[in-house]
């Protein structure tokens, strides 16, 4: 009997990857290729959409070739992608009319401010679950239409297509046959009504975007189309799509209401499954569609920490107190505590639940005895404290207590940080055996659509723990949490104080 596989395309912010999974949910092979980061002006970030496609096609081919497989060994393709990044292309030529504007790009911040000042904040949050921000796609589309010669006229004539990266990949994989997206990506545009799961005419009018540009909204697990014979000699079903953080939530099998995952990377992304009904946050979190499978929709609360693992890079590259990132745990645990030092790593502002873009990095509690080890420890602890703040906001918004935290991302290899996280949360922290949860989520969604896996119960049996960090209930961290809150308020005071 021939072995069969699911191919996950993981299109990230800095690289395109392809990962082949077998029926046990194990990784068979990985191929990865970085692509160019373009910074035309301060605060502007772009990608070449054609390079995104060419690198993704290259790694897809490489992953299959590595195992000396034929493409017909692949039962289905799942896609997960950097979210909010905006691509606009000509429907006739299939070519982008401008570089992809990346989710990190801040060029439309002033425009978003104007939209908020016009009194649209409440209606936009109520319909989309999101805050008005340059982070999301709508203002980026508006910028392209108003700043690329002839774009507005072409759009009004129905000749332009918009898509997030998932749409762009499907469009190219099907040789222009399919212009679609899934609900999880659509919910990150500021244009989707998350209650009806339809594009919203009022929102389109606010951002002055013609509806003819938009892709068809589909579920996260269905056969959308097949690879074109111009791309591959076999027509493989494209059957699963989810934005990267929603894919990681599914890959961690947080399929029940109240389950939470945190991806610890450069920043941290926390998502809580809040079940079949959206809850609009009162704590400055965003509400997003997690996924739709069949007729069943799951929603999530999401909060982001801007500086997570990046604080370790700062210790290495700017302060020079470690030579490589792996040294930080040894240095931090060489002292029993942070000696009263608290670091607020607001190098680019404070994210949820504070949302203070003017805040900057602040260190408090320094004494004559404070040394490099105390600063290293305070830096690691800051990642856990920021996560704590978001999780408490999630508990308040959802009215449900967190029973466990499932974790993934490179920083989870730091045992001290994971234990400290468990202790201050007073709940267990679980690290899975396979930490490629984003790609795994895309593979699971695609596999379910083609019957490669029967249902989510079968998937639960594939998910395995690597390590569980049990909370030490004897530790009293209430004092430290109060001091952390005081330090955060100090950073905000500094940002807002005018002489």
Per the annotation, binding residues for ADP are 13, 17, 266, 309, 410, 414
- Joined tokens for residue 483: 């001091």
Binding region for ATP: 13-15, 266, 309, 313, 410
Q: Decide if 471 contacts 425 (C-beta within 8 A).
A: yes
Other Cβ atoms closer than 10 A to 280? 16
Half-sphere exposure of 114 (CA within 13 A, CB side): 7
DSSP-derived secondary structure for 63-126: HHHHTT--GGGEEEEEEEE-SS-BEEEETTT--BSSPEEPTT--TTHHHHHHHIIIIIHHHHHH
Spatial separation of the C-alpha atoms in residues 274 and 118, rounded to whole Å: 31
Residue 375, CA distances (Å) to 222, 332, 360, 412, 481 in order: 49, 8, 17, 20, 17
Q: Decide if 463 contacts 493 (C-beta within 8 A).
A: no
Q: Give the helix, strand, coil percentages of the chain, each rounded to 5.
A: 35, 25, 40
Binding region for sn-glycerol 3-phosphate: 13, 83-84, 135, 244
Spatial separation of the C-alpha atoms in residues 67 and 325, rounded to whole Å: 33
- Joined tokens for residue 164: 């997030």
Tell me if the bond preceding 477 is cis, omega within 30° of 0. Answer: no
Residue 486, CA distances (Å) to 142, 198, 480 in order: 40, 43, 10
Binding region for glycerol: 83-84, 135, 244-245
Binding region: 13-15, 17, 83-84, 135, 244-245, 266, 309, 313, 410, 414
Q: Of 264, 249, 254, whose CA–CA distance to 416 is shortest?
A: 264
For the chain, how long is the longest CA-to-CA vector? 76
Q: Is 76 exposed, middle or buried (0-12, 13-18, 19+ CB in 10 A)?
A: buried
- Joined tokens for residue 262: 């945190």
């Amino acid at each position: 009997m021939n072995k069969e596989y699911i191919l996950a395309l993981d299109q990230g912010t800095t690289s395109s990857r392809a990962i082949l999974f077998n029926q046990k949910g194990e990784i068979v092979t990985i191929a990865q290729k970085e692509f160019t980061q373009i910074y035309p002006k301060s605060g502007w970030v772009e990608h070449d959409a054609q390079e995104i496609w060419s690198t993704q096609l290259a790694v897809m081919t490489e992953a299959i070739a590595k195992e000396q497989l034929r493409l017909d060994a692949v039962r289905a393709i799942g896609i997960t992608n950097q979210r909010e990044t905006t691509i606009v292309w000509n429907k006739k030529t299939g070519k982008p009319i401008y570089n992809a504007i990346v989710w990190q790009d801040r060029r439309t911040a002033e425009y978003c401010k104007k939209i908020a000042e016009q009194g649209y904040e409440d209606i936009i949050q109520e319909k989309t679950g999101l805050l008005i921000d340059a982070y999301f796609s709508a203002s980026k589309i508006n910028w392209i239409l108003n700043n690329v010669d002839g774009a507005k006229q072409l759009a009004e004539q129905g000749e332009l297509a918009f898509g997030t990266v998932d749409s762009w990949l499907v469009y190219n994989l099907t040789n222009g046959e399919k212009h679609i997206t899934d609900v999880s990506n659509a919910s990150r545009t500021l244009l989707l009504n998350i209650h009806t799961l339809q594009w919203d005419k009022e929102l389109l009018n606010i951002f002055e975007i013609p509806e003819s540009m938009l892709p068809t909204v589909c579920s996260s697990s269905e056969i959308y189309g097949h690879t074109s014979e111009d791309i591959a000699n076999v027509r493989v079903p494209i059957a699963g799509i989810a934005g990267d953080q929603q894919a990681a939530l599914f890959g961690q099998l947080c399929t029940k209401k109240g389950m939470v995952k945190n991806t610890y990377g450069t920043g941290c992304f926390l998502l809580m499954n809040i079940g079949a009904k959206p809850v609009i946050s009162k704590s400055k979190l965003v509400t997003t569609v997690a996924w739709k499978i069949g007729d069943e929709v799951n929603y999530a609360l999401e909060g982001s920490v801007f500086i997570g693992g990046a604080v370790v890079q700062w210790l290495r590259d700017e302060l020079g107190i470690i030579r490589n990132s792996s040294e930080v745990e040894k240095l931090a645990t060489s002292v029993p505590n942070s000696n009263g030092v608290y670091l607020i790593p607001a190098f680019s502002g404070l994210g949820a639940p504070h949302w203070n873009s003017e805040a900057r990095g602040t260190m408090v509690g320094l004494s004559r005895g404070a040394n490099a080890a105390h600063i290293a420890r305070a830096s690691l602890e800051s990642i856990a404290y920021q996560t704590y703040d978001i999780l408490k906001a999630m508990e308040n918004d959802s009215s449900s207590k967190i029973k466990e935290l499932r974790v993934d991302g490179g920083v989870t290899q730091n045992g001290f940080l994971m234990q400290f996280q468990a202790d201050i949360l007073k709940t267990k922290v679980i690290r899975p055996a396979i930490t490629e949860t984003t790609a795994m989520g895309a593979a699971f969604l695609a596999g379910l659509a083609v019957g490669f896996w029967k249902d989510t119960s079968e998937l639960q049996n594939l998910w395995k723990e690597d390590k569980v960090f049990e909370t030490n209930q004897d530790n009293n961290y209430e004092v430290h949490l109060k001091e952390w809150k005081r330090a955060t308020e100090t950073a905000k005071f500094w940002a807002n104080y005018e002489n």
